[in-house]
Structure 1
Amino acid sequence: MDQAQRQRVGAGNIVFREGDAPTTAFLIESGRIAVSTLQHGEECLLAELGPGALLGEMAVLDDAPRSATALALTDCVLTPVDRSQFAERLAAADPVVRALLMSQLKRYRSALARLTGEVDGLHSASESDAGAMDKIRLESELRMALENAALDVCLQPILHIEHGVVAGYEALIRWQHPERGAVSPGEFIRLAEETSLIVPVGEYVLERVCDMLAELQRRGRKPLPFIALNVSARQIEDPALVERMLAHLRSRGLPPACLEVEITESLVLDRPEIAALITCCHEAGMEVALDDFGTGYSNLGPLLSLDFDRIKLDQSFVRALDRPRGVALVKAVLAMTEALGCEMIAEGVETTDQLRMLGEMGCDYAQGWLTGRPVTLEDVLRS
């Protein structure tokens, strides 16, 4: 590092004083520094820091006046760290981690104030802190919901357009919170994906789907419909995923073809393990669908090497069928899927005109509120 960026502080000199503005933190390159404060008029040593330690970072983080004085015990070399460097990283940090850090800082400030005899007021959580704490609370409640099997798995019908019959279903997870009411899947699935919770959530859905298929088979449903379930990025990274799916199917006497794997388009790029997953699925007799095609991540390159069985067209294309350009785009995607030997499922079908146009264009399947909203297994069995 450029020596000009470092500061040399001689033994016995003050680096900063209690009450100073928190403009800079320091990384101690060499030497030793004593950190002290006044306790009832007498000096109280808080810490003695050496090479590799950060000095003065707490005041910089919470933008509060220095709560202690730093004195060089020996000749020291320090690397200044500007507060903007901390601010940028703190702003980009996970909000939960940021809230925990700031909570610890506030607790330290309170303890220090009591130690020095100063009056310390009650710290209230900021709006961002409150949001992070709510996130922590929701994560704990999601763990409990998993343990208590309180998450619901619903089935949304997928209509075979030409034959006019329901060929299969997509499994959708729902959470009816006892106090919050219905929690948006986007909220709790995103929360699960930020932690390791997405793995047990995925396993939970897999087990429920296999139980549903077993009940449909027991009730004599023929032909047995397929049920598609979406897999997360963390599940895709697990090389034993397909074998675990097969184990669940075998234990219930179910054929592999009744389970379909859906991979969201945004996960396809730069993930070499997806090709291996598709190969394993095909070898086992399961089909694989590319979900949310055309949602802004579209890159036709992966379709050259990834052998998807179905492509699910995003609902934004279906909604555009009332415009010539929308019709042209859907026809183009249909031509592409046919050339690739894939079937196409159009998502978000809500009107009879949309269904009619898709059928006339040769689209294989339709999914949406027109063809059926997500329902329970009991509703499926009654239909």
Structure 2
Amino acid sequence: MEFSSTRRSIPAGEIIFAEDDAPTTAFLIESGRVVISTVQHGETRNLGELGPGSLLGEMAVIDSAPRSATARALTDCVLTPIDRNQFAERLASADPVVRALLMSQLTRYRSALATLTGDAAGSGAMEGRDESGAFDKIRLESELRSALDRDELEVRLQPIMQIATERIAGYEALIRWQHPERGQVSPTEFIRLAEETSLIVPVGDYVLGRVCDMLVELRRRGRSPLPFIALNVSARQLDDPALIDRMLAQLAKRSLPADRLEIEITESLVFNHSQIAALLARCHSAGMLVALDDFGTGYSNLGPVLTLDFDRIKLDQGFTRALGTPRGLALVRAIVAMTAALDCEMIAEGVEDPAQLQALRELGCDYAQGWLVGKPVSLQEVLETG
């Protein structure tokens, strides 16, 4: 066998690895053909052939089990070795659901092969691997789909106060899920789960429909001026070219003014400048407002703020909490001045005590949101408080 640092040349007839060998390396077949075989009742049985572009020996490397078959070069072959650590690192960082599905398939393969060869001991080679977290995630995703179908998700409204008038000018829509068995599921958990799949699109449409219905009810109850309601939009939703059209269609269906629906985009998404610029142009042409959410959370870059025409900037609650310090107060003062210079309005998040609100009032901040102003509540509670 000729060996180099990156490739191995193996002559026809040579064994690449044998059954029960330790799984130290997998291979990518660059050229030639390899036969995979196992011994059944004392006789060699060919399981298949692999050619250029195929992976060889990867399953044992992935699940750290001894080789379950023998690989022999049918023709002269050139192989690229792949160290097991390369697989281990990628597998460790993979989505746990994908990892669990892969391990499930490997378990079935091992079991089928053990049955074929009469190796009863080998059938349980992968038993005991704990993938309970991944399977729980699969269950939760399935239950979230069912909750959507059964209208079990609740949309709550957190008030946003115009500081100068102390009037509730709008609300942020926040989704909640009271699971019949798990109880209250953390929004962080199920929203992240939805964002990992295309499920975030129907979740977003669900919230959109509920919010539009809420605006209709507020209008019917004589709420004037009609408050705006802000919706958070994720990266996957932004990739949907029909997103704004669907929003406008829902508004038009109920004869609602477009400026009563506001889109909130987190600061971490503005790196895709052309996409956000196009969305802003589309929203503004229809009369919809767009806010930059979580400003100052670590992705801060003044370039996008200067070049993207946001209507409002939402100051992250960390800055609000720092108002009691000289440095925090100075920084928020500078951000308020910058926001005004850009002809934007500013909403301070996380306002929890009167001193913070007073400081924001003196600095000229436009809006306040937080527990001092109000916690997320149902539409019925909003209507009862007038």
TM-score (normalised: structure 2): 0.95
1:177 paired residue number:
179
Identity %: 71
Partner of 2:210: 208
Q: Provide the rounded CA distance (Å) in 1 between the counterparts of 2:111 and 2:17.
A: 21
Distance 1:207 1:302 in 2: 30
Shift of 1:240: 2.7
Moved more, 117-126 or 61-70: 117-126
Shift of 1:152: 0.6
State how 1:92-131 maps to structure 2 within 5 Å.
92-119=93-120, 120-121=123-124, 123-124=126-127, 126-127=129-130, 129-131=131-133
Letter in 2 for 1:28: I
CA distance in 2, matches of 1:319, 1:46: 65
Give unpaired runs (5+ residues) of structure 1.
Answer: none
Alignment of 1:227-376 (within 5 A): 227-376=229-378
* Cα RMSD for the two superposed structures: 1.6
Q: Distance in 2 between matches of 1:48 and 1:237?
A: 42
- In structure 2, C-alpha distance between the alignment counterparts of 1:349 and 1:124, rounded to whole Å: 52
Partners in 1 of 2:126 and 2:22 — Cα distance? Answer: 21
In the alignment, residue 245 of structure 1 is paired with which amino acid? M
**Are positions 1:39 and 2:19 aligned together?**
no
Structure 2: how far apart are the matches of 1:124 and 1:45?
27
Equivalent-residue separation in structure 2 for 1:29 and 1:347 (angstroms): 57
Task: Report how far residue 44 of structure 1 moved.
Answer: 2.0
Q: Is the 8 A contact 2:63 2:126 kept in 1?
A: no
How big is each residue's C-alpha offset from its partner over 1:149-171, in whole Å with a ceiling of 9 and x where there is no partner? 11110000001111111111000
Aligned to 1:77: 78
Q: Counterparts of 1:54-65 in structure 2 under 5 Å?
A: 54-65=55-66
Offset at 1:124? 4.1
CA distance in 2, matches of 1:290, 1:22: 51
Question: Displacement of 1:261 after TM fit?
Answer: 1.2
- CA gap of 1:318–1:207, structure 2 versus 1, over 3 A, is same
Residue 330 of structure 1: how far off its partner (Å): 0.8
For residues 346 and 5 of structure 1, what CA distance do their matches in structure 2 show?
A: 56
Within 1, Cα distance between the matches of 2:125 and 2:4?
44
**Which amino acid is 1:15 matched to?**
I
Count of aligned positions? 381
Q: Residue 105 of structure 1 aligns to a residue in which SS? A: helix
Q: Distance in 2 between matches of 1:279 and 1:116?
A: 65
Unpaired segments ≥5 residues, structure 2: none
> Post-superposition shift, 1:92?
2.5
C-alpha distance in structure 2 between counterparts of 1:125 and 1:366, whole Å? 52
Match of 1:34, as an amino acid?
Answer: V
Does the C-alpha gap of structure 1 residues 373 and 125 become closer, same or farther in structure 2, counting only changes over 3 Å? farther
Distance 2:254 2:272 in 1: 35
In the aligned structure 2, how far is the partner of 1:7 from the partner of 1:152? 60
1:73 is displaced (CA, Å) by 2.3
SS in structure 2 at match of 1:290:
strand
What are the Cα deviations for residues 328-369 of structure 1, in whole angstroms up to 9, with x where unaligned?
A: 111111111111111111100111111111111111111001
- Counterpart residue identity of residue 88, structure 1: E
Give how far 1:3 is off. Answer: 6.4
Q: Relative to structure 2, which stretch is displaced further, 236-245 or 210-219?
A: 236-245
